Amino acid sequence: MYRCDHGKNEREELISIGNDIIALNKTNSDRTKQQKFYSKILGNQEIDLFKNINSNILSFENFVWLAWSVKESVYKFNKRNNDEVLFSPTKIIIQKVDVPFQPQALKFNAQFERISFDKKTCFCCEVLFGSAVFYTRTLVFDDVIFSVANNTNCFENICWGIKAIHDDSYKTQSSEVRKFALKKLNKYYLDEALSIKKTLGGYPILVQQNNLPISFSHHGKYVAYSFINYGK
Amino acid sequence: MSRQEILDGLKTVLGPYTMDKQALNSMNDETEFIKDLKINSANLIDIIIDAEERYNIEIDADSAEKIHNAGNCIDVIMEKMKEKS
Distance from CA of A153 to the nearest CA of B (A): 26
A15-29, A190-204, A212-226: which has the minimum mean pLDDT? A190-204
The answer to whether B30 touches B48, Cβ cutoff 8 Å, is no
Cβ of A86 and B65 within 8 Å?
yes
Q: Predicted confidence band at A7 (pLDDT cuts at 50, 70, 90)?
A: very low
The answer to whether A172 touches A165, Cβ cutoff 8 Å, is yes
- Percent of chain A scoring above 90 in pLDDT: 77
Residue A10 pLDDT: 46
> Is a pLDDT exceeding 50 seen at residue A8?
no
Asked if B20 has any chain A CB less than 8 Å from its own CB, the reply is: yes
Gap between the Cα atoms of B24 and B22, Å rounded = 5
Gap between the Cα atoms of A176 and A217, Å rounded = 11
More confident residue, A7 or A90: A90
Residue A189 pLDDT: 85
Please list every residue in chain B whose beta carbon sits closer than 8 Å to the beta carbon of residue A218. 40
Q: What are the Cα distances from residue A68, in Å, to A1, A19, A57, A99?
A: 26, 11, 18, 17
Strand partners, A163: A111, A223
For residue A154, what is the DSSP state?
Answer: -
Asked if A158 has any chain B CB less than 8 Å from its own CB, the reply is: no
Q: What are the Cα distances from residue A177, in Å, to A49, A95, A182?
A: 33, 31, 9
Cβ of B45 and A37 within 8 Å?
yes
Reported ipTM: 0.93
Q: What are the Cα distances from residue B71, in Å, to A181, B3, B7?
A: 35, 9, 8
Phi, psi of A21 (to 5 degrees): -130, 140
Residue A3 pLDDT: 44
> Is a pLDDT exceeding 60 seen at residue A9?
no
pLDDT digits (tens, 9 = 90+) for B9-26: 999 999 999 988 999 999
Interface of A with B in 174-193 (CB under 8 A): none
Residue A14 pLDDT: 66
A36: Cβ contacts below 8 Å, ≥ 6 apart: B49
Cβ of A72 and B41 within 8 Å?
yes
Residue A209 pLDDT: 84
Angle between helices B3-14 and B44-55 (to 10 degrees): 130
Gap between the Cα atoms of B70 and A41, Å rounded = 22
Cβ of B64 and A40 within 8 Å?
yes
A143: Cβ contacts below 8 Å, ≥ 6 apart: A23, A24, A25, A108
A46: Cβ contacts below 8 Å, ≥ 6 apart: A67, A93, A94
Q: What are the Cα distances from residue A171, in Å, to A4, A178, A225, A227?
A: 37, 11, 16, 22
H or E stretch at A62: helix A60-79
Please list every residue in chain B whose beta carbon sits closer than 8 Å to the beta carbon of residue A170. 19-20, 38
H or E stretch at A125: strand A123-129
Gap between the Cα atoms of A126 and A8, Å rounded = 13
Cβ of B65 and A26 within 8 Å?
no
Cβ of A31 and B46 within 8 Å?
yes
First to last CA, chain B: 12
Q: Predicted confidence band at A232 (pLDDT cuts at 50, 70, 90)?
A: low
pTM recorded for the entire structure: 0.93
Residue A231 pLDDT: 64
Residue A1 pLDDT: 37
Asked if A31 has any chain B CB less than 8 Å from its own CB, the reply is: yes
Report, as ranges of residue numbers, the positions in chain B whose pLDDT lies below 70. Answer: none
Phi, psi of A226 (to 5 degrees): -155, 145
The answer to whether A174 touches A184, Cβ cutoff 8 Å, is no
A12-26, A28-42, A148-162, A213-227: which has the minimum mean pLDDT? A12-26
**Closest residue of chain A to B47, computed from CA coordinates:** A37
Strand segments, DSSP code E, in chain B are none
Per-residue buried b or exposed e for A112-149, using 16+ beta carbons within 10 Å of the residue's own CB: beeebbebebbbbbbbebeeebbbbbbbbbebbbbbbb
What rounded mean pLDDT belongs to chain A?
90
**Closest residue of chain A to B43, computed from CA coordinates:** A27
